[in-house]
Structure 1
Amino acid sequence: MVPNDDKISQFQVALIVFLTPIGVGIFTLPSTLAKDVETNGWLSLILGGLVCLLEIYFICCIAKKYSPAKFTDVLKQLFGKFLGTIFAVIIFIYFLIFSALEVRLFAETTKMYLLYKTPLEYIIIPFLFLGIILARCGIEPIARFFEAVIYLVAITFILVFLLYLPKSDYSNLLPVLRIHPLKLLKGVEDSFFSFSGFEVLLLLFPFMRDSKKSFKVSAISIMLITFIYVVIFVQCIARFGVDYTKTLLYPTLSLIKSSDVPGAFIEGIEGLLFSLWIVLIFTTLAMFIFAYSVIAGDLLKQKEAKHIVILFLPAVYIVSLLPDNIASTFELVDKLIKSLGYFVILILPTLMFIVSKIKGERA
Structure 2
Amino acid sequence: MSQTGSLTNWQIFFLMTQTQVGFAILTLPNTLQSTSKGDGWMSVLLAGVALQMFLVIIWLLLRRFPNLNYAEITKFLLGKYVGNFVNMIMYLYFIVTASFVLLRFASIIKEHLLTITPYWVIGLLMMLTCTYLAISDIRIIARFFGLISILFLFLFGISFFSFLLPLDLHHILPLGNTGIKEIAIGSKDCLLAILGFEVILFLYPLASKKGTTFLKVITWANVFVTGLTTYFVILCIMIFSESVLKQIKYPVIYFLRPLNFQMVDRIDLLFISIWIVPLAASIVIYIYMSSKSLSFFKGKPYRLVLMNSTLIFVLFTIAKKDPDSQELYSNFVEYLSYAVVFAIPCILLLFSYLVKKREKEVSY
* Gap change, CA 1:196 and 1:215, over 3 Å in 2: same
1:1-363 mapped onto 2 (5 Å cutoff): 2-3=2-3, 7-161=6-160, 163-164=162-163, 167-212=166-211, 213-260=213-260, 263-296=261-294, 298-302=295-299, 304-324=300-320, 328=324, 330-360=326-356
* Matched residue type, 1:126: L
In 1: Cα distance, 2:244 partner to 2:319 partner: 27
Alpha-carbon offset, residue 166 of structure 1: 7.4
Alpha-carbon offset, residue 9 of structure 1: 0.9
CA contact (8 A) 1:100 1:319 kept: yes
SS of residue in 1 equivalent to 2:355: helix
CA contact (8 A) 1:108 1:326 kept: no
Alpha-carbon offset, residue 126 of structure 1: 1.2
Give percent identity, aligned residues only.
Answer: 23
CA contact (8 A) 1:290 1:309 kept: yes
SS of residue in 1 equivalent to 2:281: helix
Alpha-carbon offset, residue 7 of structure 1: 2.2
What is the TM-score with the length of structure 2 in the denominator?
Answer: 0.92
* Range with greater deviation from structure 2 (90-99 or 210-219): 210-219
Q: Which runs of 5 or more structure 1 residues have no equivalent in the other structure?
A: none
Give the total of aligned pairs.
358
SS of residue in 1 equivalent to 2:68: coil
In 1: Cα distance, 2:282 partner to 2:337 partner: 16
In 2: Cα distance, 1:189 partner to 1:100 partner: 22
* Matched residue type, 1:91: M
In 1: Cα distance, 2:337 partner to 2:10 partner: 27
* Gap change, CA 1:43 and 1:80, over 3 Å in 2: same
CA contact (8 A) 1:72 1:299 kept: no
In 2: Cα distance, 1:2 partner to 1:28 partner: 36
Alpha-carbon offset, residue 247 of structure 1: 1.1
In 2: Cα distance, 1:220 partner to 1:186 partner: 25
Query: Which deviations, in whole Å up to 9, do the C-alpha atoms of 1:221-275 show, x marking residues without a partner?
Result: 1111111111111111111111210111111111121335xx4333332222111
Alpha-carbon offset, residue 182 of structure 1: 3.6
Q: Which runs of 5 or more structure 2 residues have no equivalent in the other structure?
A: none
What is the TM-score with the length of structure 1 in the denominator?
Answer: 0.92
Query: Which deviations, in whole Å up to 9, do the C-alpha atoms of 1:17-43 show, x marking residues without a partner?
Result: 111011111110000011221111111
* Range with greater deviation from structure 2 (177-186 or 79-88): 177-186
* Matched residue type, 1:35: S
CA contact (8 A) 1:45 1:188 kept: yes
